[in-house]
Amino acid sequence: MLELFWWIFLWTILVGNGFSLVWDILQVFVGALPSFGFVPE
């Protein structure tokens, strides 16, 4: 159920504000990954 909410949330952002905002959020998330102990290649 939480997964469904998450997809609806993401889709609302995508449709409402365009892909650029989603990309910004994604880059912030990727930038935060090292603090969780995961270092991308």
* 10 neighbors 1 (Cβ within 8 angstroms): no
Tokens describing residue 30: 């990727």
Residue 29 DSSP SS3: helix
> pLDDT digits over 1-41, tens only?
788 888 888 888 777 766 777 788 888 888 887 777 766 66
Residues in the chain, total: 41
Residue pointed to by tokens 């609302």: 12
pTM for the structure as a whole: 0.36
- By CB atoms closer than 10 A (0-12, 13-18, 19+), residue 32 is exposed
Domain ranges within the chain, ordered by starting residue: 2-33
